Amino acid sequence: MNGEFVIRTATQADAPALLAIYAPYVENTAITFEYEVPSEQEFAQRIRRVLTRYPYLVAEADGELLGYAYAGAFKERAAYQWAVETSVYVRQDQKRRGIGAALYRALEECLAAQGVLNVNACIAYPAQQDEHLTADSVRFHEALGYEMVGRFHRCGYKFGRWYDMVWMEKMIGGHDARPAPVVPFAQIKK
Protein backbone atom coordinates (compact mmCIF):
# COMPACT_ATOMS: atom_id res chain seq x y z
CA MET A 1 0.00 0.00 0.00
CA ASN A 2 1.38 3.40 -0.93
CA GLY A 3 0.35 6.91 -0.10
CA GLU A 4 -0.24 8.98 2.95
CA PHE A 5 -1.99 7.95 6.12
CA VAL A 6 -3.94 9.83 8.76
CA ILE A 7 -3.81 9.41 12.49
CA ARG A 8 -7.04 9.48 14.45
CA THR A 9 -8.46 8.32 17.75
CA ALA A 10 -9.42 4.65 17.81
CA THR A 11 -12.96 3.48 18.47
CA GLN A 12 -14.22 0.15 19.75
CA ALA A 13 -15.42 -0.55 16.19
CA ASP A 14 -11.73 -0.68 15.17
CA ALA A 15 -11.19 -3.74 17.37
CA PRO A 16 -11.38 -6.40 14.59
CA ALA A 17 -8.83 -4.60 12.38
CA LEU A 18 -6.54 -3.80 15.29
CA LEU A 19 -6.75 -7.33 16.56
CA ALA A 20 -5.72 -8.54 13.09
CA ILE A 21 -2.60 -6.35 13.44
CA TYR A 22 -1.88 -7.59 16.97
CA ALA A 23 -2.53 -11.32 16.51
CA PRO A 24 0.68 -12.11 14.56
CA TYR A 25 2.71 -10.46 17.33
CA VAL A 26 1.09 -12.79 19.87
CA GLU A 27 1.31 -15.90 17.71
CA ASN A 28 4.77 -15.47 16.16
CA THR A 29 6.86 -13.11 18.27
CA ALA A 30 8.03 -12.48 21.80
CA ILE A 31 7.40 -8.75 21.34
CA THR A 32 4.35 -9.30 23.52
CA PHE A 33 4.47 -11.84 26.34
CA GLU A 34 0.77 -12.55 25.84
CA TYR A 35 0.26 -16.24 24.90
CA GLU A 36 -3.31 -16.21 23.57
CA VAL A 37 -4.86 -13.83 21.08
CA PRO A 38 -7.67 -11.99 22.87
CA SER A 39 -11.22 -12.06 21.56
CA GLU A 40 -12.58 -9.12 19.58
CA GLN A 41 -14.83 -8.33 22.55
CA GLU A 42 -11.87 -8.26 24.96
CA PHE A 43 -9.86 -6.13 22.53
CA ALA A 44 -12.74 -3.65 22.18
CA GLN A 45 -12.90 -3.44 25.99
CA ARG A 46 -9.17 -2.73 26.14
CA ILE A 47 -9.66 0.19 23.73
CA ARG A 48 -12.56 1.49 25.81
CA ARG A 49 -10.59 1.24 29.07
CA VAL A 50 -7.58 3.08 27.66
CA LEU A 51 -9.72 5.89 26.24
CA THR A 52 -11.20 6.64 29.67
CA ARG A 53 -7.83 8.26 30.57
CA TYR A 54 -5.35 8.14 27.72
CA PRO A 55 -5.01 8.32 23.92
CA TYR A 56 -5.46 5.26 21.73
CA LEU A 57 -4.51 6.24 18.18
CA VAL A 58 -4.66 4.49 14.82
CA ALA A 59 -2.95 5.13 11.49
CA GLU A 60 -5.35 4.76 8.58
CA ALA A 61 -5.03 4.93 4.78
CA ASP A 62 -7.81 4.34 2.30
CA GLY A 63 -10.05 2.90 5.02
CA GLU A 64 -7.42 0.36 6.16
CA LEU A 65 -5.77 0.44 9.58
CA LEU A 66 -1.99 0.24 9.38
CA GLY A 67 -1.00 0.45 13.02
CA TYR A 68 -1.90 1.74 16.45
CA ALA A 69 -0.35 3.22 19.57
CA TYR A 70 -1.70 3.86 23.02
CA ALA A 71 -0.72 4.78 26.55
CA GLY A 72 -1.63 3.30 29.87
CA ALA A 73 -0.91 4.03 33.50
CA PHE A 74 2.70 3.42 34.47
CA LYS A 75 1.47 2.55 37.96
CA GLU A 76 -1.94 3.18 39.53
CA ARG A 77 -0.81 5.20 42.56
CA ALA A 78 -1.58 8.94 42.41
CA ALA A 79 2.08 9.95 42.60
CA TYR A 80 2.70 8.22 39.25
CA GLN A 81 -0.01 10.13 37.33
CA TRP A 82 2.59 12.08 35.31
CA ALA A 83 4.15 8.89 33.91
CA VAL A 84 2.67 6.47 31.38
CA GLU A 85 3.62 3.27 29.60
CA THR A 86 3.39 3.37 25.81
CA SER A 87 2.84 0.68 23.18
CA VAL A 88 2.88 0.64 19.38
CA TYR A 89 2.08 -2.06 16.82
CA VAL A 90 2.33 -1.76 13.04
CA ARG A 91 0.84 -4.15 10.53
CA GLN A 92 3.54 -6.59 9.43
CA ASP A 93 3.39 -5.54 5.76
CA GLN A 94 3.62 -1.84 6.67
CA LYS A 95 6.81 -1.77 8.76
CA ARG A 96 9.61 0.68 8.05
CA ARG A 97 7.33 3.29 6.44
CA GLY A 98 7.45 5.71 9.38
CA ILE A 99 4.01 4.71 10.66
CA GLY A 100 5.22 3.69 14.12
CA ALA A 101 7.25 6.87 14.55
CA ALA A 102 4.33 9.04 13.38
CA LEU A 103 1.99 7.28 15.80
CA TYR A 104 4.42 7.78 18.68
CA ARG A 105 4.92 11.47 17.87
CA ALA A 106 1.14 11.99 17.81
CA LEU A 107 0.78 10.01 21.02
CA GLU A 108 3.43 12.13 22.74
CA GLU A 109 1.68 15.34 21.60
CA CYS A 110 -1.60 14.14 23.11
CA LEU A 111 0.11 13.06 26.33
CA ALA A 112 1.96 16.37 26.66
CA ALA A 113 -1.36 18.21 26.23
CA GLN A 114 -2.75 16.10 29.07
CA GLY A 115 0.15 17.10 31.32
CA VAL A 116 2.04 13.79 31.19
CA LEU A 117 5.77 14.29 31.72
CA ASN A 118 7.40 10.85 31.43
CA VAL A 119 6.74 8.24 28.74
CA ASN A 120 8.04 4.75 29.44
CA ALA A 121 8.26 1.69 27.22
CA CYS A 122 8.47 -1.87 28.52
CA ILE A 123 10.24 -3.84 25.78
CA ALA A 124 10.96 -7.54 25.40
CA TYR A 125 14.69 -7.89 24.75
CA PRO A 126 16.69 -10.90 23.58
CA ALA A 127 19.96 -11.94 25.19
CA GLN A 128 20.53 -13.36 21.70
CA GLN A 129 18.34 -12.40 18.75
CA ASP A 130 16.26 -15.22 17.33
CA GLU A 131 13.34 -15.79 14.96
CA HIS A 132 10.87 -14.52 17.60
CA LEU A 133 12.63 -11.40 18.88
CA THR A 134 15.25 -8.90 17.74
CA ALA A 135 16.52 -5.66 19.25
CA ASP A 136 14.56 -3.61 16.67
CA SER A 137 12.14 -2.22 19.29
CA VAL A 138 15.02 -0.86 21.35
CA ARG A 139 16.59 0.74 18.26
CA PHE A 140 13.18 2.22 17.31
CA HIS A 141 12.79 3.82 20.75
CA GLU A 142 16.39 5.08 20.78
CA ALA A 143 15.77 6.81 17.43
CA LEU A 144 12.79 8.59 19.04
CA GLY A 145 14.83 9.86 21.97
CA TYR A 146 14.15 7.19 24.59
CA GLU A 147 16.96 6.15 26.92
CA MET A 148 17.58 2.77 28.52
CA VAL A 149 16.83 2.92 32.25
CA GLY A 150 16.63 -0.71 33.35
CA ARG A 151 16.88 -4.37 32.41
CA PHE A 152 15.30 -7.46 33.95
CA HIS A 153 16.93 -10.76 33.04
CA ARG A 154 15.06 -13.89 31.92
CA CYS A 155 11.72 -12.64 33.23
CA GLY A 156 9.50 -13.61 30.27
CA TYR A 157 9.10 -17.16 28.97
CA LYS A 158 7.68 -17.76 25.50
CA PHE A 159 8.35 -20.27 22.70
CA GLY A 160 10.42 -22.42 25.06
CA ARG A 161 12.94 -19.65 25.80
CA TRP A 162 13.60 -17.01 28.40
CA TYR A 163 13.65 -13.37 27.36
CA ASP A 164 14.80 -10.22 29.11
CA MET A 165 12.70 -7.10 29.46
CA VAL A 166 14.01 -3.55 29.37
CA TRP A 167 12.53 -0.21 30.33
CA MET A 168 13.18 2.86 28.22
CA GLU A 169 12.14 6.38 29.14
CA LYS A 170 11.67 9.79 27.55
CA MET A 171 10.83 13.08 29.24
CA ILE A 172 8.22 15.11 27.34
CA GLY A 173 7.66 17.87 29.90
CA GLY A 174 9.29 19.86 32.67
CA HIS A 175 9.13 18.65 36.25
CA ASP A 176 7.83 21.64 38.22
CA ALA A 177 7.67 21.71 42.01
CA ARG A 178 3.83 21.77 41.82
CA PRO A 179 2.70 20.02 38.64
CA ALA A 180 -0.89 20.39 37.49
CA PRO A 181 -2.94 17.19 37.62
CA VAL A 182 -3.05 15.15 34.43
CA VAL A 183 -6.19 15.85 32.40
CA PRO A 184 -8.13 12.88 30.95
CA PHE A 185 -7.63 12.46 27.21
CA ALA A 186 -11.35 12.97 26.47
CA GLN A 187 -11.07 16.54 27.81
CA ILE A 188 -8.26 17.54 25.43
CA LYS A 189 -9.28 15.51 22.38
CA LYS A 190 -10.04 17.59 19.31
Write out pLDDT tens, residues 79-133. 999 999 999 999 999 999 999 999 999 999 999 999 999 999 999 999 899 999 9
Identify the sign of the CA torsion 40, 46, 49, 52. negative
| Mean pLDDT confidence for 142-148 | 97
Number of domains in the chain: 1
Q: What CATH number does the domain containing 34 carry? A: 3.40.630.30
Please report whether residue 163 resides in a domain. Answer: yes
pLDDT at 1: 43
Range of the domain at 144: 6-188
One-letter amino acid of 104:
Y
Please report whether residue 1 resides in a domain. Answer: no
Global pTM?
A: 0.94
**Alpha helix stretches (DSSP H) within the chain:** 15-28, 40-51, 99-114, 136-143, 185-188
